[in-house]
Amino acid sequence: MNFKKVILIILLFLLSACNQFDQNNKSLVYISDQKYSNTGFALIYDDKLKKEKKISKKIDNRSLLIFHNKIKKNSFVKITNPVNQRSVIAEVISNNVNFSNFYNSVITKRIAEELYLDPNEPYIDLILISKNSTFVAKKAKTFDEEKKVAEKAPVDGITIDNLGKDKREELKITKNKFLYSIKIADFYYRDSAENMVNRIKDETNVKKSVIKKLSKTKYRVLLGPFNDIKKLEKSFNEIKVLNFENIEILKDV
């Protein structure tokens, strides 16, 4: 009888351990999903880009879909305009599209207009949202309905309903001075940051690098600032040879 009890206790312990392991795995997945974020410029889709071979696939400009090269297909992302804090939830329709690495994603005209982005300066925050997030779960319920509405709408002149007003808002784009820097990485030690600056100078033609002290244990390596998007893109492309994982473009740093 005692032997059976011992076996039962062992089985219960093993089952509990398995459940705990599964829970830990779910937590790890959630954290991993939440890790990816990037601040930079988006490429607003236009059929001309496809004709000029600057992008390899088409996308419906009425949709809430994006192209991204580092996020899994069918994932949800939150895209925010840092200037006015407007945001939308979009779905990654493909991660196998060729476009310039200077852009962190390809977005549709509808997304750009809903965020009131300046088409000449489409600067966004992009965050991958976990599938376990209740925020995404709630949004996913209406996502298909929103896509159906978008499919019936004309590509040009998309407007946005404000629930607090009867009239539709007019598109308002805030114009700011163009001033951006390229964030390479953050380091715990200043020596590490200095080594990175030396590597950039030795291995690329980019010489405009600085170290910004954020705290006693955080040093940021930046390139810039740049007051012209062409110079910014040129420097961005020149450092591609260093194979940095997640370069960001920061505004007014």
The residue among 226, 215, 117 whose CA lies nearest residue 182 is 226
**190-245 per-position pLDDT tens digit:** 999 999 999 998 888 887 888 999 998 899 999 988 888 888 998 898 888 787 87
Query: Domains of the chain, with CATH numbers?
Result: 35-152 (2.40.40.10), 180-251 (3.30.70.1070)
Q: Is 200 exposed, middle or buried (0-12, 13-18, 19+ CB in 10 A)?
A: buried
Q: pLDDT-based confidence at 168, cuts 50/70/90?
A: very low
123 CB-near residues (< 8 Å, 6+ apart): 39, 40, 41, 42, 81, 82, 83, 117, 180, 249, 251
The residue among 216, 236, 220, 239 whose CA lies nearest residue 228 is 236
The residue among 221, 231, 152 whose CA lies nearest residue 191 is 221
Looking at residue 160, its pLDDT comes to 39
User: Can you tell me the distance from the alpha carbon of 154 to that of 104, in angstroms, rounded to the nearest whole number?
Assistant: 26
The residue among 56, 123, 106, 64 whose CA lies nearest residue 88 is 64
What is this structure's pTM? Answer: 0.68
